[in-house]
């Protein structure tokens, strides 16, 4: 069947389409209907079902004869270790961990925060929660204590599962001390923690509160899978919005299973038993969907890679892993390829490995620049597919669905909408624009199964952030266009979110931190273009009238402050002191104009600008730190 037929089939009868896809899932109570629209514009899928995620990701494969197949490969160049876990081993480990959590009182609906690096135990912790119907929330290791504390106060976990440490090239990340700091900062206190002691750094455990991962499983009964309702939250994943308060994206259980399973064959073109590798992190949505849940639900082998594209030990690591573990589909971020390309532009490392098993490569997380795609195509000789999605959707909004049909690739476009997504480009008044014209990208409601039904404990914020601007549509926060063949082009964010090395960050959140410095009267953070990371944050600081501190000292301090409060992942290293910020007459800071100056792009002088002369000062300031291209 052609893509067009599949898409039209969905358009004709969306419920029948998803009920058909739902047949691939093991239900305790199967769906009688697909969509619940009685609370529109809030929608639910497969609400009348009972199901368990862990059963579908693990146990059923053991029952169906895949017990001896490897479920997880841990390949960790940073610790120099490799490990293989079969489905039967995974089932036993997860059932035991879930049993121990239950013995300590964790039940269906309880929240559990997971703060772990790229080790298989992170997936086991996620699956153990799913087994009990507990709602996990994984926090990325590159966030500092304060960000973790914000998530603890919002999710109010009964328990936190963490590792003693993580390893970044050249340094140990002290997870346990960071966790202790977060618990001190948070108002909500978890009842207990479970700590996986890694050999690289053993952490202090606080008697009565912190339990050893292995020790606390001694003598417990393994737990069976607890059936939950189809709309029960499988997990909460916090993502950046306009302010420093992250949004708790809720993932509904049944739709998540149905949609992710559908994507494995149709988008990623793998069959059960094939090896699938997403080189991301469990702290991000790509890690949730395509390191943990989708490959396992579909009966694939997934790779947990603890390393970097370069430097661990070299720019050939990706190719070694693909060749050694016989990866068929590989998923990474454009920034990772840019890093490899910079070190190995001619692909000398590529030639060292047998990559004949690799059939396709997928890129997402940020705009994939044509140079990078062309370089990857030339090196690897397989389709390199850019696809577009968000934490909120949990799976691709637009892609070239290789398992259905290999569509012609248009560089700069993540191709066409997937079934379930009616994507429209709207003008400010909410009217569709003509093909080729720029506008806000919106998706006609309802969104498909697996996408967010709401934000955790924040329905009003959900409506305000996504539903109110264009009634009847979900507002993606991205701007772009559609061409005459229906291909989408994702050009920019319409909010204050920036994308640094494939990591989604809030400039508003960084501004809140800068504003907390005693010498800073006013500030702005913008995202400027960067050849490696896509974007980089740059801070502009106006100091208090009375401040006579050397500017370099203040800059150093705010850089450290962002690292301490948000974390190293913010990659905030550039700031500059200016006398004034460019504003409109009503006082709005002209961040967009500042970005254009930094990137050397033409811009129209804003009609409402208070004092155009300030723009020259901004340009000088940017030039003083090596930016401002023109």
Helices (H), 476-582: 507-515, 551-565
CB atoms within 10 A of CB 427: 13
C-beta of residue 76 within 8 angstroms of C-beta of residue 313: no
Q: Which one of residues 179, 336, 358, 368 is an interface residue with ligand COA (CB under 6 A)?
A: 336
C-beta of 99 vs 334, nearer to ligand AMP:
334
C-beta of 161 vs 173, nearer to ligand COA:
173
Residues 310-329 that bind ligand COA (CB under 6 A): 310
Q: Which one of residues 95, 228, 264, 286 is an interface residue with ligand COA (CB under 6 A)?
A: 286
Residues that bind ligand AMP (CB under 6 A): 239, 285, 364-368, 386-391, 414, 476-478, 490, 493, 499, 504
Q: How far apart are CA 309 and CA 332, in angstroms?
A: 10
C-beta of residue 172 within 8 angstroms of C-beta of residue 165: yes
| CA nearest to 405, candidates 397, 395, 396, 415 | 415
163: contact with ligand COA by CB under 6 A: no
C-beta of 176 vs 387, nearer to ligand AMP:
387
Task: Give the DSSP letter of residue 333.
Answer: -
DSSP string, 398-433: EE--TTT--PPP-TT---EEPTT--EEEE-TTSPBP
Q: Work out what residue 367 binds among ligand COA, ligand AMP, none; the CB cut-off runs from 5 to 8 Å by kind.
A: ligand AMP
C-beta of 172 vs 491, nearer to ligand COA:
172
Contact map string, positions 445 to 484, toward ligand COA, x by CB under 6 A: ----------------------------------------
Q: Work out what residue 368 binds among ligand AMP, ligand COA, none; the CB cut-off runs from 5 to 8 Å by kind.
A: ligand AMP
628: contact with ligand COA by CB under 6 A: no
Q: How far apart are CA 605 and CA 608, in angstroms?
A: 9
Orientation angle between helical segments 507-515 and 551-565, nearest 10 degrees: 120
First to last CA, the chain: 50
47-66 burial code (b ≥16 CB/10 A, e <16) = bbbbbbbbbbbbbbbbeeeb
308: contact with ligand COA by CB under 6 A: yes
Q: How far apart are CA 85 and CA 514, in angstroms?
A: 45
Contact map string, positions 570 to 599, toward ligand COA, x by CB under 6 A: -x----------------------------
Beta carbon of residue 204, minimum distance to ligand COA (angstroms, whole number):
20
What residues pair up with 340 in beta bridges, in sequence order? none
The DSSP bridge pattern shows strands 416-417 and 398-399 to be antiparallel
C-beta of residue 460 within 8 angstroms of C-beta of residue 466: no
Beta carbon of residue 339, minimum distance to ligand COA (angstroms, whole number):
4
Q: Work out what residue 173 binds among ligand AMP, ligand COA, none; the CB cut-off runs from 5 to 8 Å by kind.
A: ligand COA
Contact map string, positions 484 to 513, toward ligand COA, x by CB under 6 A: ----------------xxxx----------
Tracing tokens 């532009």 back to the chain, one arrives at 345
C-beta of 281 vs 392, nearer to ligand COA:
281
77: contact with ligand COA by CB under 6 A: no
C-beta of 279 vs 452, nearer to ligand COA:
279
| CA nearest to 450, candidates 282, 290, 301 | 290
Beta carbon of residue 369, minimum distance to ligand AMP (angstroms, whole number):
10
Contact set with ligand COA (CB under 6 A): 117, 141-142, 166, 168, 173, 279-281, 284, 286, 308-310, 333, 335-336, 339, 364-365, 500-503, 533, 568-569, 571
């Amino acid at each position: 069947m052609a893509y067009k037929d599949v898409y039209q089939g969905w358009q004709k009868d969306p419920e029948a389409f998803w009920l058909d896809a739902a047949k691939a899932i093991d239900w305790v109570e199967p769906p009688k209907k697909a969509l619940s629209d009685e609370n529109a514009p809030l929608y639910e899928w497969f609400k009348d079902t009972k199901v368990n995620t862990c059963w579908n990701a693990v146990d059923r494969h053991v029952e169906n004869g895949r017990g001896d197949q490897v479920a997880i490969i841990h390949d960790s160049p940073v610790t120099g270790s490799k490990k293989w876990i079969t489905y039967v081993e995974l089932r036993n480990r997860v059932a035991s961990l879930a049993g121990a959590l239950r013995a300590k009182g964790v039940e269906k609906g309880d929240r559990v925060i997971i703060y772990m690096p790229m080790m298989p135990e992170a997936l086991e912790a996620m699956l153990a929660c799913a087994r009990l119907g507990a709602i996990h929330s994984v926090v990325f290791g590159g966030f500092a204590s304060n960000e973790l504390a914000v998530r603890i106060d919002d999710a109010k976990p009964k328990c936190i599962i963490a590792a003693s440490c993580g390893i970044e090239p050249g340094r140990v990340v002290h997870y346990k001390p960071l966790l202790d700091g977060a618990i001190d900062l948070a108002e909500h206190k978890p009842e207990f923690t479970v700590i996986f002691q890694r050999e690289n750094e053993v952490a202090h455990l606080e008697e009565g509160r912190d339990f050893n991962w292995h020790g606390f499983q001694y003598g417990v009964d393994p737990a069976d899978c607890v059936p939950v309702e189809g709309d029960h939250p499988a997990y909460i994943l916090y993502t950046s919005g306009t302010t420093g308060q992250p949004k708790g994206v809720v993932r509904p259980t049944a739709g998540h299973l149905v949609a992710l399973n559908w994507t494995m064959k149709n988008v990623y073109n793998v069959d059960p038993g094939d090896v699938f590798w997403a080189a991301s992190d469990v702290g991000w949505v790509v890690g949730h969907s395509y390191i943990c849940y989708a490959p396992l639900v579909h009966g694939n082998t997934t790779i947990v890679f603890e390393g970097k594209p370069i430097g661990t030990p070299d720019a050939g690591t990706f190719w070694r892993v693909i060749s050694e573990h016989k990866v068929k589909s590989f998923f990474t971020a454009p920034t990772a390829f840019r890093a490899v390309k910079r070190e190995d532009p001619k692909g000398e490392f590529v030639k060292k490995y047998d990559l004949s098993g690799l059939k396709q490569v997928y890129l997402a997380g940020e705009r994939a620049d044509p140079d990078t795609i062309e370089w990857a195509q030339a090196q690897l000789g397989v389709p390199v597919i850019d696809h577009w999605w968000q934490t909120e959707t949990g799976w691709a909004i637009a892609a070239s669905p290789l398992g259905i049909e290999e569509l012609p690739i248009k560089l700069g476009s993540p191709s066409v909408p997937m079934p379930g997504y009616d994507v429209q480009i709207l003008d400010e008044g909410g009217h569709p624009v003509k093909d080729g014209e720029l506008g806000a990208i919106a998706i006609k409601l309802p969104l498909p199964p697996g996408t967010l039904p709401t934000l955790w404990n924040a329905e009003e914020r959900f409506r305000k952030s996504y539903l109110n601007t264009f009634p009847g549509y979900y507002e993606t926060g991205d701007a772009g266009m559609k061409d005459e063949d229906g291909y989408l082009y994702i050009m920019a964010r319409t909010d204050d979110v920036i994308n640094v090395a494939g990591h989604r960050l809030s400039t508003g959140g960084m501004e809140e931190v800068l504003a907390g410095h005693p010498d800073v009267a006013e500030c702005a953070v913008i995202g400027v273009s960067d050849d490696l990371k896509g974007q980089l944050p740059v801070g502009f600081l106006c100091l208090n009238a009375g401040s006579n501190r050397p500017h370099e000292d203040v800059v150093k301090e705010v850089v450290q402050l962002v690292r301490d409060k948000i974390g190293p992942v913010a990659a905030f290293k550039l700031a500059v002191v200016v006398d004034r910020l460019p504003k409109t007459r009503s006082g709005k800071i002209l961040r967009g104009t500042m970005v254009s100056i930094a990137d050397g792009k033409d811009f129209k002088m804003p009609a409402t600008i208070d004092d155009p002369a300030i723009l020259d000062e901004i340009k000088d300031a940017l030039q003083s730190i090596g930016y401002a291209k023109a």
